[in-house]
């Protein structure tokens, strides 16, 4: 765990190294993914079967081995314990309610020149959702991806998820039923992303691929962007906790470890103005790790990538937060609004001591698929708009063409494009 202090002479250089540390795909992963993509593009289902057997120890032999039907998903949902089923339904309801309000409005208007213009929003025809199934299964991610797609109006919703040794978490199947997934394929990794992008004999291609995954999945999405649309290139999870000395160290430690347990490459950072509080949190993390079933992963993450930054005043924290542009920023202070107003770059912000980031992962409503690796500087979390595209339209009558056409002719001629000018001139009789 790295400990920094803004008062130290070497802080600026050390913080710059922290900001630059992306913890993401290396050259070997990019090379391997490129080979996998080309193999799936050329050999389709045969490549998928070979790679699934090699990486997941699961044989895609008969038709029944490849996919899971709607009836099996419904049975998994019905078999849930009542409390768990109610929790899943609450999450779905809140996610849907939040994302319905993101639906954009069409525009259709006529301006002063008599030109009709506007834009029309439509959903993509098909979306592919990647749901991890290796280190942990995430039914919450399925809901967070599938529900915005359904709200957008996507007609064909396809899930790809690995099934190590043939096993898929029943809660993932239950979430697929609740979200209205149309197809669920037992393939994972970069090969699944390639299959969704190019299509195979069994799996028809999609228009957009969303959802988190490991380094190979993220790299496959990066390489295939342009063949299909993607939500983002997601890296290891991050949390930045800004806390004063009045925060309970036990709460702070639990918050930091909530992201550390995702992945050994995940990063948890604490910024505080209280050195004694920083000491208490560091000590408490050891206690929490001793109780966590996920301690091996969380401990590696904290010991390798964890950071505590001491500041002279929390007034310094927003500038540091904006430089880090973290996936999750948690403001554990009495009056978070002042700091919140100064946070320009963050995937999602959690306000106050009683708002742990983990609530946002499940039942708050806003999407938990968020930009990592400082991408919050220029991108946003998953939304309904990731499954939609906007088409503009224009309509002119004779009067409107006379009003604005001559200016277009002048600009076309100035750009050396006489055919552009001619297509307007012939309509104006020039």
Asked whether the predicted pLDDT for residue 298 surpasses 80, the reply is yes
- Shared-domain flag, residues 103 and 219: yes
Residue 105 lies in a domain: yes
382-398: burial string, b at 16+ Cβ within 10 Å, e else: bbbbbbbeeeeeeebee
Nearest to 328 by CA among 292, 275, 291, 370: 370
Strand arrangement of the beta sheet that strand 388-395 belongs to: 107-110, 116-123, 388-395
DSSP state of 336: T
Q: What pLDDT score was predicted for residue 235?
A: 86
pTM: 0.93
- Shared-domain flag, residues 63 and 205: yes
Q: What pLDDT score was predicted for residue 25?
A: 62
CATH classification of the domain holding 352: 3.40.50.1980
- Shared-domain flag, residues 128 and 199: yes
Q: What pLDDT score was predicted for residue 134?
A: 56
- Shared-domain flag, residues 337 and 290: yes
Choose one of 230, 246, 270: the last residue of a domain.
Answer: 230
Residue 333 lies in a domain: yes
Beta bridge partners of 241: 270, 330
- The range of the structural domain enclosing residue 405 comes to 396-428
Asked whether the predicted pLDDT for residue 152 surpasses 60, the reply is yes
Indicate if 328 belongs to the active site: yes
Asked whether the predicted pLDDT for residue 383 surpasses 90, the reply is yes
DSSP state of 165: G
Which band of pLDDT confidence, cut at 50, 70 and 90, is reported for residue 23?
confident
Indicate if 288 belongs to the active site: no
Q: What is the mean pLDDT of residues 366-383?
A: 96
Asked whether the predicted pLDDT for residue 307 surpasses 80, the reply is yes
State pLDDT tens for residues 233-278.
888 999 999 999 999 999 999 999 999 999 899 999 999 999 999 9
Which band of pLDDT confidence, cut at 50, 70 and 90, is reported for residue 133?
confident
Active-site residue, from 288, 327, 345, 368: 327
- Shared-domain flag, residues 110 and 250: no
Choose one of 195, 230, 265: the last residue of a domain.
Answer: 230
- Shared-domain flag, residues 53 and 107: yes
Number of domains making up the chain: 3
- Shared-domain flag, residues 260 and 130: no
- Shared-domain flag, residues 39 and 11: no
Residue 383 lies in a domain: no
State pLDDT tens for residues 63-106.
899 999 999 999 999 999 999 999 999 999 999 999 999 999 99
- Shared-domain flag, residues 412 and 289: no
Choose one of 230, 263, 298: the last residue of a domain.
Answer: 230
Active-site residue, from 328, 345, 357, 368: 328
Structure tokens at 277: 């509080």
């Amino acid at each position: 765990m790295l400990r920094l202090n803004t008062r130290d002479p070497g802080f600026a250089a050390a913080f710059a190294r922290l900001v630059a540390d992306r913890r993401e795909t290396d050259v070997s992963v990019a090379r391997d993914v490129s080979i996998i993509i080309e193999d799936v593009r050329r050999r389709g289902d045969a490549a998928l079967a070979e790679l699934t057997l090699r990486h997941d120890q699961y044989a895609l032999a008969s038709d029944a081995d490849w996919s899971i039907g709607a009836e099996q998903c419904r049975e998994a949902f019905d078999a849930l314990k009542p409390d768990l089923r109610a929790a899943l339904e609450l999450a779905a309801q809140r996610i849907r309610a939040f994302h319905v309000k993101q639906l954009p409005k069409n525009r259709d208007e006529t301006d002063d020149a008599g030109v009709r213009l506007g834009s029309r929003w439509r959903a993509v025809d098909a979306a592919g959702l990647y749901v991890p199934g290796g280190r942990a299964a995430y039914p919450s991610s399925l809901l967070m991806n599938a529900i915005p797609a359904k709200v957008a109006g996507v007609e064909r919703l396809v899930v790809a998820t690995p099934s190590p040794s043939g096993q898929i978490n029943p809660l993932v199947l239950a979430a697929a039923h609740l979200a209205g997934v149309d197809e669920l394929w037992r393939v994972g990794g970069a090969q699944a992303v390639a299959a969704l992008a190019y299509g195979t004999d069994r799996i028809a291609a999609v228009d957009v691929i969303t959802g988190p995954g490991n380094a190979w999945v993220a790299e496959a999405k990066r390489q295939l962007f342009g063949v299909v649309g993607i939500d983002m290139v997601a890296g290891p999870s991050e949390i930045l906790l800004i806390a004063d000395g009045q925060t309970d160290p036990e709460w702070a430690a639990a918050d930091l470890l909530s992201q550390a347990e995702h992945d050994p490459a995940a990063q948890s950072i604490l910024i505080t103005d209280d050195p004694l509080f920083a000491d208490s949190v560091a000590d408490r993390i050891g206690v929490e790790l001793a109780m966590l079933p996920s301690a091996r992963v969380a401990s590696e993450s904290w010991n390798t990538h964890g950071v505590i930054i001491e500041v002279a005043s929390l007034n310094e924290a927003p500038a540091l937060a904006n430089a880090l542009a973290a996936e999750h920023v948690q403001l554990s202070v009495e009056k978070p609004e002042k700091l919140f107003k100064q946070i320009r770059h963050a995937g999602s912000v959690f306000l106050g001591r009683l708002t742990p980031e983990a609530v946002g992962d499940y039942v708050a409503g806003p999407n938990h698929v968020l930009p990592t690796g400082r991408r919050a500087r220029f991108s946003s979390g998953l939304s309904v708009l990731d499954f939609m595209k906007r088409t503009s339209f224009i309509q002119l009558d004779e009067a409107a063409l006379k009003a604005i056409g001559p200016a277009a002719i002048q600009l076309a001629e100035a750009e050396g494009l006489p055919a552009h000018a001619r297509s307007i001139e012939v309509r104006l009789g020039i």
